[in-house]
Amino acid sequence: DGTPYRGWTDLRDVALRPALARVLGCPESDLQPGQQPSLPLLEAASRTDAGVHAAGQVCTLSLDDAVPPDRRSRLDTARLAYSLNALLPPEVCVRCAALVADGFDVRSNVGKQYTYRLSTASTRDPLRRLHEWHAPPRRGRPGWDAAAVASTAAAMLGTHSFAAFGNRPRGGERSVEVDPVCTLSELRLSQGGLSEASSAGRWAFTVRGDRFLYKMVRNLVGSLVKVGYGEMEGGELLEALADGRFRRGESVPITAPPHGLVLDSVEYAAGEDPFSSSSAGLN
């Protein structure tokens, strides 16, 4: 649950690294006075933004950096996951742990899948406020047109330059040129809820692709919501897709807020999925 964190790096430094240091680090009896356990280096497949959630994040650490040589051969990944979950805060859990070959790059994945949850109900649901975007219809304006959203989304599938839907990276990566070409294999709107009553006004965008630009998923969702409420024509999104920018300006009309977004899964090429044969999963 990304609610209390300022993105992946905050979660890593506040929650994961201290827990790993306690599980894998040297015993306190071996530390010099005032010395703190070394914090393991961690890499993630996707560096989520503040408030974004993840159900299938994948991260790696080097055993050379984190585990003394005499303990590496005895490392039990199932026990590692169990021990970490005993120490992690309630917003985070390790679902599975596995050993991978030297040289495995967690960011060399072949795709990711996201879900974005949206409510178009006239009143908000306080119990869902941290995990879905409440975007009710405006008084006197057209209602929600799911068919317009679905048809526009379908027309955006395939390989395109998504420059119009990507934000410039932050910090040191701001000056790095990023290839804007991505392949979307799924961009689908579905109605969802646990029951027929709870489905009213509740929607989910499923977004799957080989790679994504910074804030691309949230920008796509925000733009499609504009189409759904008749504030933009679907053709405007398709023109922006072709031209690399929106006619109304250089940036997207609206970026959907982070709390509705969930990273569902990270996909790897056949034979490279670190969990394809792992038995360390937790039910």
Structure letter (DSSP) for residue 217 = H
User: Could you say which of 1, 10, 13, 49 is catalytic?
Assistant: 49
Tokens representing 93 are 């859990």
Instruction: Tokens 């809820």: give the residue.
Output: 193
Helices and strands (H, E) in the chain, number of each type:
9, 9
User: Is there a catalytic annotation at residue 49?
Assistant: yes
CB 46 within 8 A of CB 263: yes
Phi, psi at residue 219, to the nearest 5°? Answer: -70, -40
Nearest CA to 189 out of 120, 254, 246 is that of: 120
In whole angstroms, give the CA distance from residue 206 to residue 94: 24
In whole angstroms, give the CA distance from residue 116 to residue 206: 7
How far is the first Cα of the chain from the last one, in angstroms, to the nearest whole number?
Answer: 18
Q: Which residues are catalytic?
A: 49
